[in-house]
Chains A and B, each alone.
Chain A
Amino acid sequence: MKKEFRVIADLLENNTRVLDVGCGDGSLMSFLKDNKNIEVRGLELNKDNVQKCITKGLPVIQGNAETELHQFPKKSFDYVVLSQTLQAFYDPDKVLKELLRIGKSVIISIPNFGFWKVRVKLLFFGKMPVTKTLPNTWYNTPNLHMCTIKDLFDFCDEKKINIIKVIGLNEDKTSIIKRSNLEIKNLISKLGIFLIS
């Protein structure tokens, strides 16, 4: 399982209820169910992934998070997890509101557009950055609303969303991000993982 999922798993308490939005082939769900006795549910758009989850015995609903989160009742999950998809929605603000309605807490990870390599590519080459975390070119990227870790901090402040913990991830190295070290961490983290409520 990828490092990002390990970090997310560590943020979740055992014996809870978790909704994994955009659960892919269910690898995070499998891990949470087997190792943390977490009751998992998934929402996934891709039908091949849906079938993989079903074959693994993981409960998954085929659907689009952009339009179908309304089916989940208020505070029906302890956590809602959204991995690297917030930036791909037409209306991330609305999706985030829905996530916070459904979950007592929400975990979001974002590919950090403030990572130094990304900045260098744009600054010195004058081209849209293509990196390991952002592998697509400008015309075929699903990412409509790229943002940086700093942007998401500011967004949460503006929307009065409570930030419980933020973890920066660079390859296998993790570090806690706070307002005090935000400038440097925003430069050296490939991914930002936010626990909010």
Chain B
Amino acid sequence: MNIKIENIKKLNVSKPLKLDCGKTINNFPLAYETFGTLNSEKDNAILVFHALTGDQFVAGMNPITKKEGWWVTAVGPGKALDTDKYFVICANVIGGCMGSLGPRNINPETKEPYGLDFPVITIRDMVRAQESLLEHLGIKKLLCATGGSMGGMQLLQFCATFPDKTFSAIPIACSSSHSAQNIALNELARQAIMADPVWENGKYLKKNIQPKNGLAVARMVGHISYLSEKGMQEKFGRKLQEKADYEFSFNADFQVESYLRHQGNTFVERFDANSVLYITRAMDYFDLSKQFQGGLTEAFKNQKTKFLVISFSSDWLYTTRENKDIVIALNASGADVSFSEIITDKGHDSFLVDETEFLKTLKGFIDSMYEKLKNEKRI
């Protein structure tokens, strides 16, 4: 991985941040990007939390990968998160590798990349770090905050930790605590990386190389879990990859194999293997009810934020049932909550693709919330 991350927007967070593991970080970089314009009342800001392998480049062109942002279907002029109307913010999570402090950064004590000396971080640490960015931008209260998958988990944490920081919230395809199945899949990804001899206990960066094989397998695991059984069957079936018959070898005969290999290979160009370890760990440790005695209902006590929870029918990674548990807890705490299950074959990935029903719901909610906020201010 040879990406140039010098020229991206970064905030130096000088305020010390005490991490859940007990260690403290200070004077650390938090990379972010913004889209659209913040109005004079500063009430049109939307914060997006990114998922495991996402970054701050939600829309437009990603200057590092030279590809479109990961959420161009939802963010841009006239889209659900309309950048003609709203000011969209996204920060790279700490532990990540797109400019925010992560295991790739130089450890000031050893003058070498942190590697496994980087402290284990949690979803709450990621969220607390991002609060500094809102402070920096002078935003007291967001119009909306949203995120899918791990982004949704950050959002739930954000609402529980800062109950008055956003007018509305849209957690998408997420969970309030990581399930055994999801921990297992993450463990598979981590083991794939750690089994690569190049990984060398996380010290590979000293030699300026990446455990590419392990990292690619880790990505393949992810990609299988982002699709649905039906979606995968329809997309690939048993189709062969540019050949008439089996090769009687272990090359990528099937299209689905070729697809996974391609996803794995492109991923290693833009992502750091140790970051995968750290971020998946943060996801596994996430259990919102554990932080609050009395469980999830207690976590959402006194919420003024208006919620819309969205799940996808074919998502087996963060199921409708798990999303509904969030709704039940919000209901039990008397919060203002809506819930919609989008019927689709596109699996967990649905929130990243052009899924009309989903995008319509997203847009309808955000626009109505902006109107509501304006009305409340008038009164």
Contacts and interface: CB of A to CB of B under 8 A. Distances in A.
Interface of A: 41, 47, 50-51, 53-63, 71-73, 76
Given A47-B343, A61-B337, A62-B339, A55 B364 contact: yes
Interface string B321-349: 00010011001101011111101000000
B206 interface: no
Given A51-B361, A54-B368, A59 B340 contact: no
B308 interface: yes
Contacts of B327: 61, 71
B18 interface: no
A56 B357 CA distance: 16
**Which 9 A-B pairs rank lowest in CB-CB distance, beginning with the nearest?**
A55-B364, A57-B368, A71-B328, A61-B339, A59-B338, A62-B340, A54-B365, A59-B336, A57-B372
A14 B372 CA distance: 20
B183 interface: no
Contacts of B306: 59
A151 to B, nearest CB: 32
A47 B357 contact: yes
B340 A51 contact: yes
B134 interface: no
**Interface SS of A by simple majority:** mixed
Given A51-B360, A57-B368, A71-B331, 13 more contacts: A47-B340, A47-B343, A47-B357, A50-B340, A51-B361, A53-B338, A54-B364, A59-B337, A59-B338, A60-B339, A61-B337, A62-B341, A76-B331
A61 B335 CA distance: 12
B182 to A, nearest CB: 23
Contacts of B369: 57
Interface residues of B, number: 25
B371 interface: yes
B291 to A, nearest CB: 21
A53 B361 CA distance: 10
A99 to B, nearest CB: 15
Interface string B156-175: 00000000000000000000
A76 B360 CA distance: 31
A73 B368 CA distance: 27
B332 A73 contact: yes
Nearest to B372: A57
A61 B328 CA distance: 10
Contacts of A53: 338
Contacts of B360: 51
A106 B332 CA distance: 19
Contacts of A41: 336
Nearest to B334: A76
Contacts of B365: 54-55, 57
Contacts of A50: 338, 340
Contacts of B371: 57
Q: Which of A58, A71, A76 has the most CB of B within 10 A?
A: A71
Contacts of A58: 338
Contacts of A61: 327, 331, 337-339
Contacts of A54: 308, 338, 340, 361, 364-365, 368
Contacts of B338: 50, 53-54, 58-61
Contacts of B372: 57
A164 B92 CA distance: 58
17 contacts: A47-B357, A50-B338, A51-B340, A51-B360, A54-B365, A55-B367, A55-B368, A56-B368, A57-B372, A60-B338, A61-B327, A62-B339, A63-B324, A71-B327, A71-B328, A72-B331, A73-B331
A58 B327 CA distance: 15
Q: Which of B337, B339, B357, B368 has the most CB of A within 10 A?
A: B339
Contacts of A62: 339-341
Nearest to A77: B334
Q: Which of A62, A63, A76 has the most CB of B within 10 A?
A: A62
Nearest to B373: A57
A60 B307 CA distance: 10
Contacts of A72: 331
A82 to B, nearest CB: 18
Contacts of A55: 364-365, 367-368
Interface in B89-139: none
B190 to A, nearest CB: 35
A57 B367 CA distance: 8
Nearest to B306: A59
Nearest to A42: B338
A55 to B, nearest CB: 3
Interface string B300-334: 00000010100000000000000010011001101
A38 to B, nearest CB: 13
Contacts of B361: 51, 54
Contacts of B340: 47, 50-51, 54, 62
B372 to A, nearest CB: 5
Nearest to A52: B364
Interface string B363-379: 01101110110000000
A98 B360 CA distance: 33
Q: Which of B324, B331, B341 has the most CB of A within 10 A?
A: B331
Contacts of B368: 54-57
